[in-house]
Amino acid sequence: MAVKYEFIKECKQTGARLGRVHTPHGVIDTPTFMPVGTQATVKAMAPNELKDLGAQIILSNTYHLYIRPGHKLVEKAGGLHGFMNWDRPILTDSGGFQVFSLNELRKIKEEGVEFKSHLDGTKHFFTPEYVMEIENSLGADIMMAFDECTPYPCDWDYAKNSMERTIRWLKRCKDAHKNTEKQALFGIVQGSTYKDLRIESARRTVEIELPGYAVGGLSVGEPKDLMNEVLEYTVPELPKDKPRYLMGVGSPDALLDGAIRGIDMFDCVLPTRIARNGTVMTSKGKLVVRNAEYAEDFLPMDEECDCYACKNFSRAYIRHLIKAGEILGGRLTSIHNLRFLQNLMANIRKAIAEDRLGDYREEFFIKYGYKK
């Protein structure tokens, strides 16, 4: 199998687990956060910077790469690793989320999803088999199955039918996946926010033996407590000897709450997206560095941070760069936010090792200004 989960220990205070995911391109310490490199680049970042700030794995988006520059071109370049010159692990999503988000531009059939490109309106048809072909060309260490991510809210009947189809598609994905030696296919649990559907989806997904499983369809607009509730009854259905990935989650509170509920892997565009707009996460909470109040503030964005941006530049300078539309502004805030989350994950791992992740969460929430 391309990917193996090594369990180290469980936090005695919570259900969080410390582990390692072994992949063809190296080891990932879990719980981990994966920066998102939608178009074969984590926005504003160079690979050497991602390494410097401690990223062990990144995520890239199948839909975007299929549309541009095309998976065949990426394959010719030696897969995503060669194309973007990233020699550490990569995970690709399946394009499902993007294709379903196209709304009036797509049509769902049992065979697959017909959709129009957001770039030029050309027609395309994604089937589980075709998505596997694309992901095999991209060559990521972990590839996600083609699923439907149901919106929130979503009625029970729709969620049930969609979940059933996602399972049928998962079987087709498994059959079509050509490179099991070097690429691990992960299945995705769906079922919206319905306990019966989630449990059924988890059980039937796990019946299909795969090297890892994800919880999808969350962080799509539902309240925070509801996400935690779903995790509480879904995660126990997942095998202990496989990595568990919560898709699309990247706010500090959700990372903590997900880890506490037994999640090993997370991803989200949030840290880089808000960074480019001038908002950063700091040890004392969010800071909108583009605001006028920082015009003459010569402190670093986060006094406790060890990133290149915080060690070398002031809030006043970064605010100036962002106000002036200078590229370096978004670069520095992106470096910071990604480093902030890497540090958060390292702290989470340390707290698990010390059996005190519950305490750490409480301390973090108070300092960050979250309600408990």
Task: Select the residue interacting with its own copies from 298, 299, 350, 367 (CB under 8 A).
Answer: 298
Whole-number minimum distance, CB 76 to its own copies, in Å?
6
CB 246 within 8 A of CB 225: no
Binding mask 239-278 for its own copies (x = CB under 8 A): ----------------------------------------
First to last CA, the chain: 41
Whole-number minimum distance, CB 308 to its own copies, in Å?
7
Rounded CA gap, 80 and 87, in Å? 9
Whole-number minimum distance, CB 355 to its own copies, in Å?
40
The tokens describing 341, both together, are 């989350």
* Active-site residue (options: 93, 147, 257, 264): 93
122 binds its own copies (CB under 8 A): no
Instruction: Determine how many CB atoms are found less than 10 A away from the CB of residue 64.
Output: 18
In Å, the largest CA–CA distance within the chain is 60
| Rounded (to 5) percent helix, strand, coil in the chain | 45, 20, 35
> Kind and range of the H or E element at 251?
none
Between 77 and 102, name the residue whose CB sits nearer to its own copies.
Answer: 77
355 is catalytic: no
Task: Select the residue interacting with its own copies from 324, 369, 371, 372 (CB under 8 A).
Answer: 324
297 is catalytic: no
**Contacting range for its own copies; rule: CB under 8 A; set: 23-31, 262-270, 315-323, 342-350:** 315-323
**Contacting range for its own copies; rule: CB under 8 A; set: 39-47, 53-61, 105-113, 244-252:** 39-47
117 binds its own copies (CB under 8 A): no
Between 190 and 337, name the residue whose CB sits nearer to its own copies.
Answer: 337
Whole-number minimum distance, CB 318 to its own copies, in Å?
10
Between 189 and 310, name the residue whose CB sits nearer to its own copies.
Answer: 310
Strand arrangement, sheet containing 90-92: 32-35, 265-268, 244-246, 212-215, 184-189, 142-144, 90-92, 58-60
39 binds its own copies (CB under 8 A): yes
Instruction: Determine how many CB atoms are found less than 10 A away from the CB of residue 15.
Output: 16
| Number of residues lying near its own copies (CB under 8 A) | 36
DSSP classification of residue 36 = B
CB 329 within 8 A of CB 278: yes
User: Helix 156-176 to helix 128-138 angle, to the nearest 10 degrees?
Assistant: 50
User: Helix 357-368 to helix 327-353 angle, to the nearest 10 degrees?
Assistant: 150
Task: Select the residue interacting with its own copies from 308, 365, 368, 370 (CB under 8 A).
Answer: 308
Between 248 and 330, name the residue whose CB sits nearer to its own copies.
Answer: 330
Rounded CA gap, 161 and 192, in Å? 11
Between 324 and 369, name the residue whose CB sits nearer to its own copies.
Answer: 324
| Coil/strand/helix, residue 70 | coil
Q: Are strands 32-35 and 265-268 parallel, antiparallel or unpaired?
A: parallel
Binding mask 76-95 for its own copies (x = CB under 8 A): xx-----xxx----------
Rounded CA gap, 133 and 150, in Å? 24
314 binds its own copies (CB under 8 A): yes
Whole-number minimum distance, CB 41 to its own copies, in Å?
5
Rounded CA gap, 83 and 96, in Å? 23
Instruction: Determine how many CB atoms are found less than 10 A away from the CB of residue 68.
Output: 12
288 binds its own copies (CB under 8 A): no
* Active-site residue (options: 264, 267, 306, 359): 267
Determine whether 223 is exposed, middle or buried from the number of CB atoms within 10 Å of its CB (0-12, 13-18, 19+): exposed
Q: Which of residues 46-65 bind its own copies (CB under 8 A)?
A: 46-48
Task: Select the residue interacting with its own copies from 331, 336, 349, 361 (CB under 8 A).
Answer: 331
Q: Which positions lie near its own copies, rule CB under 8 A? A: 39-41, 43-48, 68-69, 73, 76-77, 83-85, 295-296, 298, 308, 312-314, 316-317, 320-321, 323-324, 326-328, 330-332
Point out the residues that are catalytic. 93, 267
